[in-house]
Structure 1
Amino acid sequence: MTRRADIDVRPVTEAELPEWNRALNTGFLREPTSTEGQLELRRAQFVPGRLLGAFDGDRCVATFRSFAQELTAVGGAFVPADAVSNVTVSPTHRRRGLLTRMMAHDLAAARERGDVVATLIAAEYPIYGRYGFGPATTMAEWTVDVPRAGLDPRWAGPEDGGRIDLVDGEDVRKLGPELHERLRRARPGTVSRGELWWQLATGVVRPDSPWTEPFHAVYRSAGGEVEGMVAYVADHRWGAGKQPLNTATVKWLIGVTPAAERALWHYLCSIDWVVRVKSGWRAPDDLLPLFLPDPRAAGITTQADWLWVRVLDVVRALEARSYEGSGSLVLEVADPWGFPGSGEAGSRGGTGGGGGPAGGRWLLEASPQGASCTATTRSADLVLGVGELAALWLGDESVVRLAALGRVREERAGAVRKADALLRTSGRPWCPDLF
């Protein structure tokens, strides 16, 4: 077996993309041979220094990619994020610390760039907590039993004076980015989408073959403004007696007003031959079920953690978000993972808390008018880990619940409920994207 020290972890060159992609396919249990479409995508994604590989001789045995992203904080501010993706380790090289070495390299570089947080979508739950990530948003997927939903079968369009039009991919690339900008300004947890995202969504770039062209529909308000858009596909199933049993599956749906969401869901449930609608990845408090006369017709088929966050800069993270109430808290954050072997200097400003950048004791003073966060030597109100801080930062998790689990420790009586009132939000965060 090759010694750990003999495996080279380093940035990948553009010439090494075919070998890197072969390792990526292997780790994700896909056919190892790279397609030209996959290599076209890798070349489009390539940024020097942001694709890492572990090499045993000339063979790539682990992969890691990060890219620049903006994440919407509570209140609508965009914070710079280090988005982590394409993480694999080949089955022949497990348990040799390769992921730890790649993660340390990447997070140290993210800190140096000034990223406030790192983000990822975890394929497996147990992996990323050891690096300071915590689950910050949840997603749910519903399947609507259309005949049970109780919708008017004579529905022919929105009752509010708006309209729904079918459009093609070119229209989506023109109208979609501005619509998504409106969404991410309003929804904590949403992430930025670059031009490549829209090219992938509409088949301009096709990493996988064959490509299935989705249907695209746009909702326009009575004033003609684009307020919603959906991409969906449909299967072709028929039962006994020539009864249609087709399912429409939503690939993505954006609605910046409740009227737009209502109209698009009603449209999907009104398509001839469609008896089931699968919602795709939605927020856990999505309005979809309550748009239906019988909400029980929408059953949850998937509910799980989704976006994971790693806080890199406590001060900027806590000051970037908004707060519905007023109060002050002293948070003692434990961040024991200090990017070993990366040259990261450790905590920058906090008092204690281990070698990681979020570790220390921090005074948060917040109100609806704004917030300040500073390092402090005051006695702590709460003690928690950096992963717990990430879970609370977007307002989805409950301090009370984490305290009951022993993952937050109350040092001052009443601090748990005080923190819960300060950090929780009236609406839940949502990340619509897989990356």
Structure 2
Amino acid sequence: MSLEIRTLEASEGADAAAWMRALNVGFHRSPPVPDEELAMRLPRLHPDRTQGAYDLGRCVATFRSMPRQVTVPGGAVLPASAITNVSVTATHRRRGLASRMMGADLAAAKERGEPLAILIAAEYPIYGRFGFGPAAWVSVWEIDIPRAALDGRYAGPADGGRVDLATIAEVREHGPGLYERVRTGIAGAIDREQVWWDRAVGEVRYPTDDPWEEPFFAFYRDAAGRIEGLASWRVKDHPWPNKLPKEDANVLQLIGATPAAEAALWRFLLSLDWVTRLNSSYRAPDDVLPLLLGDPRAARLESYADFMWLRLLDTPAALSARTYGGGPAALVLDVRDPAGLAGGRFLLETDASGAAVCTPTGADADLSLSVADLAWLYLGDESPERLAALGRLTEHRPGAARTATALFRTARRPWCPDVF
């Protein structure tokens, strides 16, 4: 079988159409790509980062990456290669096509100076062999509002702030800037392109999208009038049994620059007339939502799963960029990377403020682990001591795993709010 892997022809719309058709096939969607949708999506593709595998000229596998920024513990943002649209047509599985495209993309990302690669794994077992590890998880909550034991009838925030409904124009004006402030405080959050906001307010709609229904938007403003939070949601009505209200509030997004903003928006949504059930959509794995209720048992965990996977491509750059707990410390990590991209032995030194410097070293290792397992630790979500108990991390100096836990773990778990 004659198989060729190559990037897209930048100036050839037919090449992109064939690639998108193969993507639809790989994701079990109707294969045709409307001309209007092709024209809308084509400018968003990065041809030099979009690969296809071709058998006798027909595209049978797809792979794409795009530039993103990822917030790491401490608030620094790092460039990352965000991998998406990975598919292999069922007739061409087990030929190593995804592996070849992944290898090419990771090597190119390292050459570009991107110290991280990220993706959202459709299936858990696939990406560990490429050096990725689950770095940020998500939870989805369903709130039974009549059982939530909320404290009295809602009469607005008690802190001097206010919640106001917002128009699409206001969301376009203030939403992106608010999100930029919020994401620097969330390890694992990524930047949003303008098209994200265009789609959120319905100004960009692809022909294959579901019919558009304008959501509700609300801002939280603090006592000084500054916008500190944004929520959007839709309400779905159901037949009312015995004339008792029965409606769902489906939250699309809720972001707050302060705990007060986040709590005020949740309290507002939980108080909507006639709404008896609230669906949270993807939230942080340690989201405060259940504990805002008088009876947290009214919150049912609908889903809890790995979400954003991460791979280190430049270990010294990545480890030097984040901050750490545990006070001044020094730790020698021996990192195994069969792909030869980020492995080696590295000295991680931190000061009292949590700032760090990571450099190659020839000193004896305190800990050894794979680059995939280092990804589990990188954003602060996993315990080195737990990895050691699982046999995934080897301790060469007594107490080194405990030191690593104090260094890497964060007060709040990382969270990526967006699908990419």
Q: TM-score range by the shorter chain?
A: over 0.9
2:269 is matched with which residue? 268
Q: Deviations over 1:353-380 (max 9, x none)?
A: xxx2211111111124421111111111
CA distance in 1, matches of 2:271, 2:38: 40
Q: Do the aligned partners of 1:169 and 1:202 also contact (CA within 8 Å) in 2?
A: yes
Equivalent runs, 1:262-411 vs 2, <5 Å: 262-324=263-325, 325-337=327-339, 356-369=340-353, 370-411=355-396
Runs of 4+ in 1 over 6 A off after TM superposition: none
Matched with 2:107 is 108
How big is the shift at 1:150?
Answer: 1.2
Deviations 1:277-336 (A, max 9, x none): 011111111111111111111111100111110000000001000112221111011100
Match of 2:48, SS?
Answer: coil
- Which letter does structure 1 place at the counterpart of 2:157? P
What is the alpha-carbon distance in structure 2 between the residues aligned to residue 313 and residue 326 of structure 1? 23
Mapped partners of 2:415, 2:115: distance in 1: 19
SS at structure 1 position matched to 2:197: helix
Please give the TM-score of this superposition, normalised by the length of structure 2: 0.95
> Counterparts of 1:272 and 1:44 in 2: how far apart (Å)?
43
SS at match of 2:28: coil
Residue of structure 1 in register with 2:247 after alignment: 246
**Secondary structure of the structure 2 residue equivalent to 1:418:** helix
- Aligned pair partner of 1:7 in 3, 9, 19: 3
8 Å Cα contact 1:326/1:422 also seen in 2: no
Offset at residue 431 of structure 1 (A):
0.8
C-alpha distance in 2 between matches for 1:38 and 1:200:
14
1:343 aligns with none
Contact 1:17 1:42 in 2 (8 A): no
What letter corresponds to residue 314 of structure 1 in structure 2? T
Match of 1:197 in 2: 196
Once the two structures are TM-superposed, the CA of residue 243 in structure 1 deviates from its matched residue by 2.3
5+ unaligned residues in a row in structure 1: which ranges? 338-355
Q: Does the 8 Å contact 1:396/1:425 carry over to 2?
A: yes
What's 1:131 paired with? 130
Between the aligned residues of both structures, percent identity stands at: 53
TM-score (ref. length: structure 1): 0.92
What is the CA-CA distance between 1:37 and the residue it aligns to? Answer: 5.6
SS in 2 for 1:70: strand
The root-mean-square deviation of aligned C-alpha atoms, in Å, is: 1.3
CA distance in structure 2 between the partners assigned to 1:87 and 1:231 by the alignment = 30
2:328 partner amino acid: S
Which residue type is aligned with residue 7 of structure 2? P
- One-letter identity of the residue aligned with 1:56: D
**Range that drifts further, 242-251 or 130-139:** 242-251
**Equivalent position SS for 1:106:** helix
Contact persistence 2:333–2:365 (CA under 8 A): yes
| Superposition deviation, residue 36 in structure 1 | 4.7
Partner of 1:78: 77
Q: CA deviation at 1:40?
A: 4.1
Across the two proteins, how many residue pairs are aligned to each other? 413
Q: How does 1:62-211 map to 2 (within 5 A)?
A: 62-152=61-151, 154-207=153-206, 208-211=209-212
1:30 alignment partner in structure 2: 29
- AA matched with 2:279: K
Question: Contact 2:151 / 2:294 at 8 angstroms: preserved in 1?
Answer: no
Structure 1 distance, partners of 2:153, 2:176, is 33
